Amino acid sequence: MDESKVQSALLGWIITLAITISVLLRRDKDVRQRLFILLSGNLTLYYFSSFLYHLLGYPWMERMALIAAILIPLGGLFFFRSFSAPARRIRLLSVAFFLAVLLSAIVLWPTALKPPVGFAILAYVLGFMLVALLDLNVQARTAATRVDAARIRYLTGGGFIVLTLQVTDRLDQVFDIYVPPVGLAVTLLYLYFISQSIVRYRILDLYEMLGRLAVLSMMGLLLALIYLGLIHSVGTGEGFLLNAFLASLVILLLFDPLRDFVEQKITDFFFGERLFLEQKIADLRFRLAHVISTDDLGGVLMAGLEDSRRITHASLYLIDAHGAGYDLKSFAGPAPEQKRVEAAAVRRYLRSSPGSGAVVASSLLARRARSLQAGKGETTEDLNEALALLEKLKADVVVFLEGQEDLLGLLCVKDERVNDAFSPEEVKSLSGLATQAAITVENSQLYQQMKERDRLASLGEMSAGLAHEIRNPLGAIKAAAQFIEEEIADAVESQQEDREYLGIIVEEVNRLNRVVSDFLSYARPSKVAPEQLDVNEMLRRTIQVFETGRRSPMAIQVDYGADLPGVLIAGERLQQVFLNLLLNAEQAMERQENGRLDISSKLRKVRRITRGTSGAEYANFVEIRFSDTGPGIDPAIAQNVFIPFFTTKSRGSGLGLAVCQRIIRDAGGEIELRSQVGLGSIFSVVLPAARSERRSDADAERVRETPIS
């Protein structure tokens, strides 16, 4: 019994069996994986039969091993043929099958176990495997993508090495010399590489696997040479133990620097493009830290990504002012078809769950393939829409610019030269770049807000000063006009015209003074401290004041809500709002004989938007509704009624409703308008209840969006 051959056959059987089972247990196996199971299973049967023959020495086991060897080229031809068009090499398969049947018959013949038969089988196996590899090498030139071409080249090169070493392993049968079974080890490594090449669809994952194998091999070889070199000089004499200790110590000291050196060289060889891209991304992140404007952001991003030599298409989409969608700001390479992406489409098709840093086209394709194989074609509609959207965006990868509260934008990249061009590590680096870009966008927004706030503050100070400068000469003009009017009060009738002109001056001065007063009320922040008020009581007082001076026949019907909570607002400012709404209703119905104003107060619950919680939370608000039977407001006019100085009245300043809106918003509430021509108008004042927490900005938006019921 040859122990070395027994051990080699046992090792081959165990490893090929493990590789076969690992692929066999995978779910949703494709045709290529099934053909690999056939090839690997043939090798497992061959090594198992050889192990039993060398261990037990039964002749029939040798015949079984030879038949298993005859089947190996058939499995190889079918497997390698799966990388090319189905119609290729039909004649080659027919010849191989004919020779396999002939050789199997010869092996099963009782007197056929002679050396020429063994050499014939070896020539048959090596010859047809060589032809299969040559045919596979041709396919690398016409591969659809660089990924497939690289995978085929690796398979071909590894196959040639395996065939060469298999020949050298059998030199002892011809020249009666001992050759270490290197071919067996390389064959097993090659079989493992094939199993990974059909499971890992990304060529960069294969690079990583090859890099690790290369690092381990180089480390093992270098350390073995060091060890053998240090102990070779003393052999097994008295100094052997000391030199073995010194050799081990040297290995321990050199292990880390040698490993780092080898890993660096292997990484540079296999992952040079990735390192260059990561370096460019690091430089971009540093540059973005000094960018303030979003206009500069797009230019810096596109220039840096284009310079990385890994990206043929890049585009940046940023959220619009209303948060309804994302507009194309800049791009590198051909322009994408999609100039704008709606926020709803992003939430549904790309960013199904908040916190997902990126969406990768290859992942969507894999998910769709799994769904179709599982018979769930009806669930792939969103995946198809997502892939179609990525196609319009010219993107293989979309990384999200995540803000503190919302999604600020999309960064789309693509390398059209390669399918699935970006590894998970590169996608992670791009996500880090998007994070830095999101910080830049937020800083830009904050900077613009600060500039706008400073501008408005300066404008407010200037406007207040200007208003006072206008008011002072107005007062002087009014006083002078009144003095002259008193002087000519007893004059003759011929001076009546002069008195009329003086009356016009005084009247217009009073009107301008009211405009200036309203403007100051709107421009200056309130200095009156808020107090907790009873809305119903404030309504009663305001209506009493209004009833004292009004002359119109308008009827007022009031419905006071029961058990209303208080509101926090200055009393005189709330009364100013109520009086303004009463006067507007009176003026709207001044030509109606049966005009009616319905006023009501009630409790209104508004759903709160709270992050990180489930279920509905509600805040209490008090709503005071003024509903008149006037002519109504045209929609084109209604959208402008709260804009300062907008008015349709001949003697109005256009600041009344703007001032009312400012007062209510300062108190944390909102004024709402609903009107229809011919059916009257409804103004609703909504104020937060004093006992509830002051609302957040999200609550304020919800109050404005809640329809009037």
pLDDT, tens digit, 9 for 90 and up, residues 35-63: 888 888 888 888 888 888 878 777 777 78
Average pLDDT estimate for 257-271: 64
Query: What confidence score (pLDDT) does residue 601 get?
Result: 93
pLDDT band at residue 104 under the 50/70/90 scheme: confident
Average pLDDT estimate for 76-86: 70
Cross-strand partners of 398: 359, 412
Q: Domain coordinates of the chain in residue numbers?
A: 3-201, 203-270, 275-448, 451-523, 531-705
Residue 702 has pLDDT above 50, yes or no: no
- What are the backbone dihedrals phi and psi of residue 340, each rounded to the nearest 5 degrees, phi first? -150, 140
Cross-strand partners of 670: 686
pLDDT band at residue 705 under the 50/70/90 scheme: very low
pLDDT higher for 641 or 648?
641
Could you report the per-residue pLDDT of 110-144, keeping only the tens digit for each? Answer: 665 556 777 788 788 888 888 888 877 777 666 65
Could you report the per-residue pLDDT of 545-586, keeping only the tens digit for each? Answer: 888 767 778 889 999 998 899 999 988 889 889 998 998 888
Residue 425 has pLDDT above 80, yes or no: no
Could you report the per-residue pLDDT of 248-260, keeping only the tens digit for each? Answer: 676 667 667 766 6
Query: What confidence score (pLDDT) does residue 622 get?
Result: 93
Counting Cβ atoms within 10 Å, is residue 18 exposed (0-12), middle (13-18) or buried (19+)? middle
Alpha carbons 82 and 192: distance in angstroms, whole number: 18
Count the alpha carbons within 13 Å of 246 in the hemisphere toward its beta carbon. Answer: 12
Closest listed residue to residue 699, CA positions, set 709, 684, 686, 685: 686
Tell me the pLDDT of the chain averaged across its residues.
Answer: 76
Segment holding 556, helix H or strand E: strand 555-559
Chain position carrying tokens 């049947």: 101
Q: Which fold has domain 3-201?
A: Rhopdopsin 7-helix transmembrane proteins (1.20.1070)
Residue 692 has pLDDT above 60, yes or no: no
Long-range CB contacts (within 8 A, 24+) of 83-91: 83/32, 83/136, 83/139, 83/148, 83/152, 83/155, 84/135, 84/136, 84/138, 84/139, 88/135, 89/135
Could you report the per-residue pLDDT of 352-400, keeping only the tens digit for each? Answer: 665 667 888 878 887 887 777 776 665 678 888 888 999 899 888 999 9
CATH superfamily of 531-705: Histidine kinase-like ATPase, C-terminal domain (3.30.565.10)
Query: What confidence score (pLDDT) does residue 418 get?
Result: 65
Task: Return the percentage of the chain with pLDDT > 70, whole number.
Answer: 68
Read off the tokens for 1: 């019994």
N- to C-terminal Cα separation, the chain: 96
Could you report the per-residue pLDDT of 293-328, keeping only the tens digit for each? Answer: 887 888 888 888 888 777 888 999 998 877 788 999
Q: Which fold has domain 275-448?
A: Beta-Lactamase (3.30.450)
- Domains 275-448 and 531-705 agree in fold: no
Read off the tokens for 236: 């097994």
Name the CA dihedral angle for 278, 283, 286, 288, rounded to a multiple of 10 degrees.
-100
pLDDT band at residue 228 under the 50/70/90 scheme: low
Name the CA dihedral angle for 356, 361, 363, 369, rounded to a multiple of 10 degrees.
140
Long-range CB contacts (within 8 A, 24+) of 348-357: 348/382, 348/385, 349/382, 349/385, 349/386, 349/389, 350/386, 350/389, 350/398, 350/410, 351/400, 351/407, 355/402, 356/400, 357/399, 357/400, 357/402, 357/427, 357/428, 357/431, 357/434
pLDDT band at residue 466 under the 50/70/90 scheme: low
Closest listed residue to residue 267, CA positions, set 308, 220, 223, 210: 210
Query: What confidence score (pLDDT) does residue 682 get?
Result: 92
DSSP H helices in 82-181:
90-108, 115-139, 146-169, 172-175
**DSSP SS3 for 428:** helix
